[in-house]
Structure 1
Amino acid sequence: MTLTLADLYASPDHYLHSFDGDTAVFVPMDRAAYHRSIFLDARISPAEDGALRVPVAALIESIPASLPTGWIMHVAHCGSTLLARALDDADANLVLREPQALRQLAFGPPDGRLALTTAMLSKRYRPDLPTIVKGNVPTNFLLPRISAATPDAPMIFLYLPLREYLFAILRSDNHRTWLRNVTTQLGKHVGGAIGALHNASDAQRAAALWLAQMQLYADTAGIMVNARSLDAEMFFADPTTALTAAAAHFGVPLSPREIEARVGGALFATYSKNPAQSFGNADRLARRNDVEAELSVDLDEAERWIAARETEASSALATLRAIPLAV
């Protein structure tokens, strides 16, 4: 059976995975494949082998309007994967975690591919249930374009206060490598705040990235009327309340019993990125305590850096705290 452009735009079975130059790469999916794919980047678990390659120009000629889509934007290492997986029903609504094509657009020119990508991501198996997209740090910098295109879309800004963010971002060599890589890739967005980025310390990079994202969220909150904020520490401490509010915000039909089962089940007792690893909030807090002393110099440096920009940081946080996600 020959696929048409209409087929590609209509069915989630044809997933726009990424761009390769002027070509869009689709991979075969089904509902089970989306559910088991914790991430939709290189770690995707497709329904079968193979890929379909289509010229981007042909797809852009006939982009349909995006269906209503919910968004989870976050600062990284703050429970976003856990929240997204908790909202994912294997037999109902779709939750798309970190689409590779969307991430690529954060580094590309505004050439029409965002409208193409959001239309493709908005597809669903059940028309009565929402599709939710969980972004990643680079996709935060698409927020000006996303908010201009869909100012009424429901969105959650999942964030951490500065000190807690530093614990999450600086706690290991692997996390510091990620920090250096992503701040280098996003240099035009965060580099101006710290001058010569290649000379910046890890503490300065972490502080600059945190502030850039807080300001993005605050600016977007003034445009997107259905944007709400969620302090990740509140989510970790009271996941039942947070999940109940998030489901209501996105229109995901989770009953109190279903929410109780998810919060009390394996999902919240294992590492969200690796279900084979036991990990809960008590483990997270213990890990935080373990690294506090060794991070003291970095914490002090980052907090001094933010203190020199107290007006901007306080204003952004105040804006976010004025739009809390609530039941």
Structure 2
Amino acid sequence: MSSGPSAQEIWKDATWLAQAVDPRAGLVRLVEMTPDDYREASFLDDRMFQQRPRITHLVPWASVLGSAPSNPRRDARWIFHISHVGSTLIARLLGEIEGVLSVREPRALRDLTFFPAEVRARFIPLVQALFSRSFTPDGAALIKATSFVSEIAAELIPDNGKALFLYTTPKSFIPGILAGENSRKELAGRAEQRMARLANRGVQLPPPRHEADLAAAAWASEMVALQTVSNAEVRWADFDTVLEDMRGSLTWMAEFFGFDASKKRLEEIATGPLTRRYSKATQYEYSPELRRELLAEAGRTHRADIDSALAMLDAASETAPLLRKALDRAQAES
């Protein structure tokens, strides 16, 4: 049995995904991937192993570090988001541009969030290099992180790097969460973590009264984290606004990231089948029209709770400048 890929194999291209990292044990899990594997996988966390068997190797972190080129690329582009705001769709669509490798939610980035900043600092430079590999010399990697990885976005994006921050207004986000069974299940499980993250950034929310309050806290925790990023070139995008002009949005996103794509190709992508499928499971149909219908229905069903949750956020922002900044951004889009 092979002991793992050689240094040359690891660094020549993105074949060996750094899927998971364990700073405590000093190990990294490498998973063999093809361009089609990246294209098909909605997520690159451990759910990827449910799809089919994959070739994996646990490799000492020190050996990967020691084999790295003296000046590796660290020019991956990044997508951070607040969850349930179309980030998988946008990452898929941009990944249809020739030469762009779309890497969606690798577990390794999540792993780093569970360690203190001084530990992360020893790992992040190499993580940036590993996730900047592509399959062609002039290719580019686009990394979409899991929503709560926004907490360390400022550390992951190199100075002067480029990142897209996707969000929706709380008026759209809260009913969007309440419209989905899986998203509602997630609320209670992460409530304590989100409250702690907010408190660490000077935001105090009262105890939640209902699911709408939990969804409001989810919105606030991710938005406030992203508001702290100041070391990178960032473009913010409201997903509902993006849906109104997908072709125009993909055009400015491609230009911002420096992806080379013709107007014709961007129009093909914007009007292609991916925009009419549920991007996390493309066998299911899902359209902007269906999204609007679901949001409207949840808004009617939970109107009183949503209104009280919005009022809660507004009241809390009186003593929390970062939350006020996030709400002002959202209100500018309303």
What is the aligned partner in structure 2 of residue 243 from structure 1? Answer: 250
Supply the distance in 1 between the matched residues of 2:105 and 2:190 (Cα, whole angstroms). 15
Distance 1:48 1:250, change over 3 A: farther
Cα 1:254–1:43 shift into 2, 3 Å: farther
CA distance in 2, matches of 1:271, 1:6: 38
Distance 2:175 2:110 in 1: 25
Aligned residues: 318
Secondary structure of 1:223's aligned partner: coil
Q: Report the alpha carbon displacement of residue 35 of structure 1 after superposing the two structures with TM.
A: 1.2
Mean alpha-carbon deviation: is it higher for 246-255 or for 15-24? 15-24
In the aligned structure 2, how far is the partner of 1:34 from the partner of 1:62?
24
- Following the alignment from structure 2 to structure 1, what is the Cα–Cα distance between the partners of residues 90 and 146? 13
Structure 1 residue 264, shift from structure 2 partner: 1.5
Per the alignment, residue 35 of structure 2 pairs with: 31
Confirm whether residue 55 of structure 1 aligns to residue 63 of structure 2: no
Mapping of 1:109-188 within 5 angstroms?
A: 109-110=116-117, 111=119, 112-147=122-157, 150-188=158-196
1:218 to 218, 224, 227: 227
> Runs of 5+ in structure 1 lacking a partner?
none
Match of 1:3 in 2: 5
Greater mean alpha carbon deviation, residues 104-113 or residues 61-70: 61-70
- CA distance in 1 between counterparts of 2:54 and 2:277 reads 29
Cα distance, 1:320 vs structure 2: 8.0
Residue of structure 2 aligned with 1:190, choices 198, 213, 220: 198
Distance in 2 of aligned mates of 1:8 and 1:292:
49
State the identity %.
25
> Hey, what's the Cα distance between the residues in 2 that align with 1:219 and 1:39?
26
CA distance in 1, matches of 2:137, 2:52: 21
CA 1:288–1:319: 2 relative to 1, 3 Å: closer
In structure 2, C-alpha distance between the alignment counterparts of 1:117 and 1:181, rounded to whole Å:
28
Q: CA deviation at 1:245?
A: 0.7
Q: Distance in 1 between matches of 2:80 and 2:175?
A: 20
Q: Give the letter aligned to residue 214 of structure 2.
A: R
Asked if structure 2 preserves the Cα contact closer than 8 Å seen for 1:31 and 1:91, the reply is no
What displacement does 1:305 show? 1.0
Q: Cα distance 1:19–1:219, how it changes in 2: closer, same or farther (>3 A)? A: closer
User: Closer, same or farther in 2 for the Cα pair 1:321/1:87, shift >3 Å?
Assistant: farther
Distance, in Å, in 1 between the alignment partners of 2:127 and 2:113 is 12
1:301 and 2:303 aligned? no
Task: Describe the SS at the equivalent of 2:103.
Answer: strand
Equivalence for 2:325: 315
Q: Which moved more, 1:207-216 or 1:118-127?
A: 207-216
- Describe the superposition over 1:180-222 as per-residue Cα deviations: whole angstroms up to 9, x where unpaired: 223344453135645687x6643333222322322222221x3
**Correspondent of 1:234 among 233, 236, 241:** 241
Deviation, structure 1 residue 85: 0.4
Per-residue Cα deviation, 1:2-56 (whole angstroms, up to 9, x for no partner)? 7333532333111111135512111111111111112111233789632111122
Aligned partner letter, 2:9: D
> Structure 2: which amino acid aligns with 1:144?
A
Q: CA RMSD in A?
A: 2.7
CA distance in 1, matches of 2:219, 2:108: 24
1:99 maps onto 2:109 in alignment: no
1:157, 1:117 → 2: CA distance?
20
Q: Which position in structure 1 is the counterpart of 2:279?
A: 272
Distance 1:90 1:229, change over 3 A: closer
Q: Residues of 1 paired with 2:296 and 2:328: CA distance?
A: 27
TM-score (norm 1): 0.87
Please state how far the C-alpha of 1:140 moved relative to its aligned partner.
0.2
User: Of 66, 81, 89, which residue of structure 2 is paired with 1:82?
Assistant: 89
Residues 316, 268 of structure 1: alpha-carbon distance in 2 compared, 3 angstrom cutoff: same
Residue type of the alignment partner of 1:216:
A
Q: Any conservation in 2 of the 1:28–1:47 contact (CA below 8 Å)? A: no
Greater Cα shift, 12-21 or 255-264:
12-21
| Distance change in 2, residues 1:108/1:309 (3 Å) | same
Higher helix share: 2
SS at match of 1:308: helix
Of 35, 41, 46, the match for 2:45: 41
CA change 1:202–1:163 in 2 (3 A) is same
CA distance in 2, matches of 1:32, 1:90: 14
Distance 2:330 2:311 in 1: 22
